Amino acid sequence: MALRSVWRPWKDEVVADRGAVASERPLTSEVGIEVLRQGGNAVDAAVAMGFCAAVVEPQSSCVAGHGQMLVHMNGRTTALDFSHRAPKAATPDMYRILRQVEHGNGLYEVESHANAVGHLSAGVPGVIAGLCKAHEMFGTLPLEQLVEPAIHYAGEGYLPDWQNVFAIGQAMSDFQKYGEPAKVFLPNGLPPRLGVDKVVQRDLADTLRRVARHGKAGVYEGDIPHAVEEYMGANGGCLSAADFHDYKVEVAEPASVTYRGVEIVGVPVSSGCTTAMQILNVLDNFDVAALGHNSAEYLHLFVEAARHAFADRYRYLGDPDFGPAPLRGILSDGYARSVAAVVDTERAALEGRSDKQPWVEYADEALHDPWVFDPQQRPLVEAAASPPSVGDCTTHYGAIDADRNMVSCTQTAVGGFGSRVIVPGTGLLLTNGMVVFNPKPGAANSIAGYKRGLANMVPLLALRDGEPMMSIGAPGGRKIMNCNAQIIMNVIDFGMGIQEAIAVPRVDAADRETYVDSRIDASTVDALREMGHGVEVVEETAAQGNFAVPVGLMVNSDTGRIHAGVDVFRQAEARGY
């Protein structure tokens, strides 16, 4: 048998008595833990972390980006949705589709990539509104105090890490094309030198000072929305002042499923939460633990359940304000049992059947009927299957405080540096939020004015007997859904601590192939192939993420202490006190 070296990185689990935070960057975690030390609660810490992340992780997040947050406070859980919305002037046929891509995710290629880069790709900003709403509802410290670290790192600059510099180099040609971002991210016309050149965003610092003084109104009212409208109109974009003025954060009771007696809580809109929770709900009907962690039998079962969930995702999910979506049916126990009954436990039934993306093919075929389990009336005519495009540049952070209040928040620039457009004089780096829609008309996730796009974000909380248990999340595009479900199963089914649950190798079934981490035993890979899986073995590295990048926090029910874990390949960091 051929032998090879295998890289098995590790990080120590943080164990804290009072409070803890976890995020994708050391600076973000440092800001969060200091807020907790200063007497802030979990939401205060999250708000400060969210603003900081939007400054020091610009390839992944921005204050003109989007997000979703779950807050468990004083025994009650609340969901805040400040995710992707199309400008009011957006139309279903606003992009010219050139072809369906025959590789990767099986997406439509749009002329000039106009839905992914540039002025016409910009979605309505949500992060400032979302963080301010969270502070308004749950915060205890002054907003000025929470925004101050972000103002400091924007105005005085921060030293970018190598991943930041690498991302800047990749986006360099677009920065030069659009002008304003080159002034920020290309000092002396080149990417910053590691350890030498700071990224300074003085216009953004001024905008954040407005937020510190006036909250959401500092950006969504007054002259900034009109400056955005004027600049966009002059450059072919359609984002308007009215889009800012009318933007509201959706505050709602969360969606939930029960997995092995643990309540898993997510955001109750068409998002990645729906799909991740559906996977868990289906697998709750199988004795997963008896199969053994990362055995071929377990991984096969997980992949099949995931592919069933993804087929439903792209057939049925879209903004429920623009057409019926059977969200309650999809997450019902009865529907989960009906799907589990048709999961093939022996063979890979939902992949390798054609050169089409499996979830496109099976979404067309309508594998299941969630409308039978949904209280809404079935639509007379169902929309076509709806695979969107996808962005994968996102960040996540979580916090648990001394009173065991919990927050899980994912926010995103959507693609790397979003639209790669900065509005002059404001520092606002706009997202390319339009890329999360299906650019083809007639689908559940097709474009419409002020419609919410189908998000991949998956912030999750877990409650055992109503008590705080876990805060989980990750960046990573479509791969977040499979990732977060596996971490929860690692803890609940296989008894792992949070750091181990995050660090062990995973599989992913969000794309055409089944991706298997190279750390998984070769005999297991061979067994999966014999079952019919189109396996691609990939190595996870610091430079290239083939899987999502999770961080998590967990309360030990026996000791009451907080345990925190983070991705072992990147610079994610947990802190506690």
Give catalytic residue positions: 394
Dihedral angle, C-alpha 98, 422, 50, 251, nearest 10 °: -60
Phi and psi for 259 in degrees, rounded to 5?
-120, 115
Are 553 and 22 within 8 A, CB to CB?
yes
Strands 406-414 vs 421-423: parallel, antiparallel or unpaired: unpaired
Bridge partners, residue 552, by sequence = 472, 565
Tell me how far apart the alpha carbons of residues 456 and 267 are, in angstroms, rounded to a whole number. 11
Are 265 and 476 within 8 A, CB to CB?
no
Q: Residue 131 corresponds to which tokens in the numbers above?
A: 């963080």
Which amino acid is present at 299? L
Which amino acid is present at 284? D
- Per-residue b/e over 200-229, b at no fewer than 16 CB within 10 Å? bbebbbebbbbbbeebbebbbeeebbebbb
Tell me how far apart the alpha carbons of residues 292 and 290 are, in angstroms, rounded to a whole number. 6
Q: Report the number of secondary-structure helices (H) and strands (E) in the chain.
A: 19, 21
> 95 exposed, middle or buried (CB, 10 Å; 0-12, 13-18, 19+)?
buried
Tell me how far apart the alpha carbons of residues 388 and 478 are, in angstroms, rounded to a whole number. 11
Are 459 and 473 within 8 A, CB to CB?
yes
HSE (side-chain half, CA atoms, 13 Å) at 75: 1
